Structure 1
Amino acid sequence: MASSSLFAAARRLLRLGGRGRSGILPSRAAASSSRSKSEEERPPPVRRPRLESTLWPLGHPGTLLVPEIELWAARPGNRLRAVELQRIVKELRKRRRHRQALEVSEWMNHNGHVKFQPKDHAVHLDLIGEIHGVAAAETYFDNLSDSDKTEKPYGALLNCYTRELLVDKALAHFQKMKELGFVFSTLPYNNLMGLYTNLGQHERVPSVIAQMKSNGIIPDNFSYRICINSYGARADFFGLENTLEEMECEPQITVDWNTYAVVASNYIKGNLREKAYSALQKAESKIDKRDPDPYNHLITLYGHLGDKSEVKRLWALQMSNCKRHINKDYTTMLAVLVKLDEITEAEALLKEWESSKNAFDFQVPNVLLTGYRQKDLLEKAEMLLDDFLKKGKTPPSISWAIVAIGYAEKGNVVKAYELTKNALRVYSSNSGWIPRPSMIEMILKYLGDEGELKDVETFVDLLKVAVPMNSDMTEALSMARAREETKVKETNA
């Protein structure tokens, strides 16, 4: 019946003699054609850029985001939404752009765009601790109302203490949280385990996870990973494998790719290559193929194994499966290629990155510059810097300094001086770069012994912006002035 009705429909279409192929009468077809042509000629509506897509290209951590947000909000049709601002702060933290996250968090609170709940206070407190230190975080916590002092701000302050390795404060605060009934999740225990890990006291980690279990709290993936890592750090692979087996048998836990990656990393450090490959295969079977983060981790681990074929296979999968390829993906792959001595391929990848539409960030070429320095290819490093200058991209201080350090390590003080001078000329206080003291000492000694007075004065003036005036600078200036005075006397004699 179905096939006969299809044939009947086909015959009906063929009997539409004077009608067009579409089965529409000519006059209607013409009108339809006219409408479709006008629709084709009409340009598609311009989609306004979302706030997030406006901010992410501003990759330099020193860039102020609030003026950009206000500029976006001032455009017709744009509206700031609390949930979007909170998402931006979360993503900035994920990208480790803490200063910008704090800037946006302060602005959205003070301007009333978001009415802060305890969870928002917790995020803000953690950012204050990250940027301004524990004392500032404590002040913020003390000024919160009692109703806002829930387990979340308490937990954020504990995180500040553990991050700064303040054992006594962390333990006292943890005890206070227990008394208030705020230790009912894995997070405070994980903070303590992280504290002992960062102190190198790996033997104390298993007792914390045991305490967690005795209090009726089931460890999560992160808890188990810290514990697995603690065994790996002590090369206790029996303990590591027992913990992994316990985790795999726990019905409320789904072992994720990251856990198997941690296991693989420890096997690599222990030179247990076969076990490392097995763990890496299990990790890959667990990944979300559209998420770039697992690929970056696994590429790095295969790089540690020196397995170029697996590195390239995973990179190809990442390129085909992931919609976006951010700068972090390129820096990861560049670092692995450099590690594997694949400099030519790294150079090709850098060109590929340049031709992408990603925000230009010197952190990407800095990976190759560091590789050039490590491989004693300093002329290539200088050529790369020159190429960027020709393209109108001014390298920041750190880029010049990478190459300067290479020349200093070879004892070529003249080149180190010239490149350090370039670094100081573009110095910015929020760049995070500090001149290496040993290299500066070497340059100042050279200038004091051989430099022209005007060159020494210029260098010291540039240097004073980055570091406080010190005896090495004073001595270099004194020696250069004394030499200049001697020259003048000899000339006049």
Structure 2
Amino acid sequence: MRELGLLLKPSPYNSMISLYGSLGNRDSTFWLYGTTGNRDKVDKILQEMNENNVELDSVTVNKVLRVYASVSDIEAMDKFLAGFEANATLELCTTLDMARAYLEKKLKGKAREMLRKAEEFKDPESYEKLLRLYGEAGKVKDVFRIWDIYKETRKVDNRAFRTLIGSLLNLDDINRAEEIYYKELESAGLEFDVLTATMLASGYREKGMVDKADKLMYKTMRIRELDIPITLMLEDWGKNGNQVKPSDLRDLIKNLTDSNQFSKALEVSTWMFKNKVLTLFPEDYATRLHLIEKKFGLVEAEKFLKTSIPENMKNYSVYATLLTLYTRSEATLKKAESTFVKMRYFGFLSKLSPFNKMISLYSELGRRIQVENLLKEMKENNIEPDSVTINNLLRVYACVSAIESMEKYKSERDDEVKNLKLEVKTMNAIAEAYEKEGLMLKAIEITASKKEVYRLWNEYKKDNKEKMRSNKEGYLSVVRSLLRLDDVKGAEEMYEEWEPEGLEVDYRIPSLLMSRYCEEVDNEVKAEKVVESCRRKRRMMEFREIFNCVAASSIVLALPPALTWIFLGEGIWGWLGSLLLFGWLVG
């Protein structure tokens, strides 16, 4: 056409721009490799149109803008639009593509402006895209405004609900997503859609709401339609215009696995492998390896590793999964060590997880030297320990009663690791080590069991019978430990049992109770009782001290024998005499 001199109108140029634009379509395979080459060809076409004095029409402007949007070239897109906006009318698909391009560059304000223009077309077919894009643009009110329009103009289906819930999850609004699912979707009378349930379950897990996610997935698998094999349901996904996305399948497998429905998860994984519905990655093989072990045992998992996983797929995720399987028992210790050596050889020990798995196994076996060697290797590889590592090492030290090393390591890690949290079995192991060494108060303060606190306290009292009721360090430890374990009543009873002795009251013990009461609501009465109790204990302590001083002083020695008998004697007369003497001395 160029050779024949037929390129005098925008139509042929538009056809070529349209072709290059379609090659750069987001959903095409070519999109994975970029569209820079085709975009350059579009620029050459625009240059030729300019040289031939061919004016751009509205079709040209829209096609060029979509090409620029497809490669997220915001600068070129804005500049081109500014030059032709007055003479061209933007099409619906152009506004949506431009909005998506703005969102990819985090320009949410510009994206919302373009979405407003898209709304002006009032096209019911665009509402799902608007729901999704407004969800990315960060405004819940816009999402619900479109949702209300959607419901007025067309019949709502599962895909629409899925889009809405996905947008709400993207906006971090798990509560409204939950409300839409349980109140609107379940009462809409639609055929059950496992994709939407999986999506909400994933949202729960991201928020740490594991129980809700598990309950939803259990409920999903109990629904009547799913009494049939799950593979039949998967085959139905592709019908009625639905598209099976890789992320949908992987999310379903993960949620089924996380809720311990390993058989169902393995069904999905088997179907995914057999039908080749997506490009498989090492992580998919690692997941399948884990599920086979859960369903059929370690021997079958090893067979799958040897016969079905290609060598180029045996990366870190596969070996890390295999190591997890081997570090569960002493019976597979040799295999675990062999796998760890292979991971070192392949350069897969740049993360903390493999070290933690081996340290965990060694700690259960009390292998202190091996654990310390692994810590040394971690240090050489600049891998910092986390709470899991620290708990494991502390249990090793406790197992071999290395008290000094245990306390030194814990003290150092308390300063280095923020929010260090000791596991229950770690605290109990440390308490057991302290008890073996006769350090009963330290054992009381660290144990995670109320039952153990009382048992250790009784043992401690047997060994410290003299002046036990005035043992302030002992009562301080037991009260503090009971409060830590939320046994407030027990702490109160211990406090009442304690009797201060000496010249000064140790206010640390009542202060523990006072601090706890301050954390609670409407506990002013209890706090006042502790204050009054503390005053009473102090008066009794002072009385005993003064009485002891008077008993040994020259005042009493100078008294006539009859009066001495009254003040120091036993029975009612001695008690009354003591009170009178105390009142006389302090009053």
TM-score normalised according to structure 2 size? 0.44
1:400 and 1:419 in contact (8 A); partners too: no
**Separation in 1 of the partners of 2:311 and 2:173?**
31
1:489 maps to which residue?
A: 543
For the pair 1:302 / 2:355, whether they are aligned, the reply is: no
2:253 and 2:269 in contact (8 A); partners too: no
- Change in CA separation of 1:191 and 1:264 when aligned onto 2, cut-off 3 Å: same
For the pair 1:437 / 2:492, whether they are aligned, the reply is: no
2:336 maps to which residue?
A: 311
Q: Counterpart of 1:350 in 2: which secondary structure?
A: helix
Alignment of 1:77-96 (within 5 A): none
2:262 and 2:294 in contact (8 A); partners too: no
| Structure 2 gap ranges (5+) | 1-71, 73-104, 113-131, 149-159, 205-211, 448-482, 501-505, 548-587
Q: Which amino acid aligns with 1:170?
A: Y
- Change in CA separation of 1:447 and 1:163 when aligned onto 2, cut-off 3 Å: farther
1:456 maps to which residue?
A: 509
For the pair 1:170 / 2:170, whether they are aligned, the reply is: no
2:405 maps to which residue?
A: 383
**Separation in 2 of the partners of 1:277 and 1:323?**
20
1:189 and 1:212 in contact (8 A); partners too: no
Alignment partner of 1:415 out of 442, 445, 449? 442
2:391 and 2:422 in contact (8 A); partners too: no
CA RMSD of aligned residues (A): 5.6
**Separation in 2 of the partners of 1:390 and 1:231?**
38
**Separation in 1 of the partners of 2:137 and 2:535?**
53
**Separation in 2 of the partners of 1:240 and 1:191?**
16
Alignment of 1:3-152 (within 5 A): 114-116=106-108, 141-142=140-141
Alignment partner of 2:222 out of 185, 200, 203? 203
1:212 and 1:218 in contact (8 A); partners too: yes
2:243 maps to which residue?
A: 217
For the pair 1:251 / 2:276, whether they are aligned, the reply is: yes
- Change in CA separation of 1:391 and 1:305 when aligned onto 2, cut-off 3 Å: closer
1:353 maps to which residue?
A: 378
- Change in CA separation of 1:413 and 1:388 when aligned onto 2, cut-off 3 Å: closer
The structure whose RCO (Cα within 8 Å, separation 6+) is larger is 1
- In the TM superposition, residue 114 of structure 1 has moved relative to its aligned partner by 4.6
**Separation in 1 of the partners of 2:525 and 2:416?**
29
- Change in CA separation of 1:278 and 1:141 when aligned onto 2, cut-off 3 Å: farther
**Separation in 2 of the partners of 1:382 and 1:440?**
32
- In the TM superposition, residue 456 of structure 1 has moved relative to its aligned partner by 1.5
Q: Which amino acid aligns with 2:441?
A: V
- Change in CA separation of 1:293 and 1:211 when aligned onto 2, cut-off 3 Å: same
2:198 and 2:255 in contact (8 A); partners too: no
Q: Deviation string for 1:241-290 (max 9, x for gaps)?
A: 65444322213334444444444444544563322333455686477566
Using the aligned pairs only, state the percent identity. Answer: 12
Q: Counterpart of 1:304 in 2: which secondary structure?
A: coil
- In the TM superposition, residue 365 of structure 1 has moved relative to its aligned partner by 1.6
Alignment of 1:255-270 (within 5 A): 255-270=280-295
- In the TM superposition, residue 321 of structure 1 has moved relative to its aligned partner by 2.9
2:514 and 2:530 in contact (8 A); partners too: no
Count the aligned residue pairs. Answer: 345
Alignment partner of 1:273 out of 281, 288, 298? 298
Q: Deviation string for 1:86-114 (max 9, x for gaps)?
A: xxxxxxxxxxxxxxxxxxxxxxxxxxx95
Q: Counterpart of 2:277 in 1: which secondary structure?
A: coil
**Separation in 1 of the partners of 2:492 and 2:539?**
19
1:404 and 1:419 in contact (8 A); partners too: yes
2:283 and 2:317 in contact (8 A); partners too: no
Q: Deviation string for 1:30-89 (max 9, x for gaps)?
A: xxxxxxxxxxxxxxxxxxxxxxxxxxxxxxxxxxxxxxxxxxxxxxxxxxxx9xxxxxxx
Computing the radius of gyration over CA atoms, which structure comes out larger, 1 or 2?
2
**Separation in 1 of the partners of 2:442 and 2:532?**
23
2:237 and 2:243 in contact (8 A); partners too: yes
1:10 maps to which residue?
A: none
2:399 and 2:429 in contact (8 A); partners too: no
1:407 and 1:413 in contact (8 A); partners too: no
**Separation in 1 of the partners of 2:499 and 2:311?**
61
1:61 maps to which residue?
A: none
Q: Which amino acid aligns with 1:456?
A: I
Q: Counterpart of 1:347 in 2: which secondary structure?
A: helix
**Separation in 2 of the partners of 1:324 and 1:120?**
41
1:157 maps to which residue?
A: 168
| Structure 1 gap ranges (5+) | 1-81, 83-112, 126-139, 421-434
**Separation in 1 of the partners of 2:144 and 2:177?**
25
Q: Counterpart of 2:507 in 1: which secondary structure?
A: helix
For the pair 1:366 / 2:391, whether they are aligned, the reply is: yes
- Change in CA separation of 1:159 and 1:405 when aligned onto 2, cut-off 3 Å: farther
Q: Which amino acid aligns with 1:226?
A: L
Of 455-464 and 198-207, the range deviating more from structure 2: 455-464
- In the TM superposition, residue 155 of structure 1 has moved relative to its aligned partner by 1.1
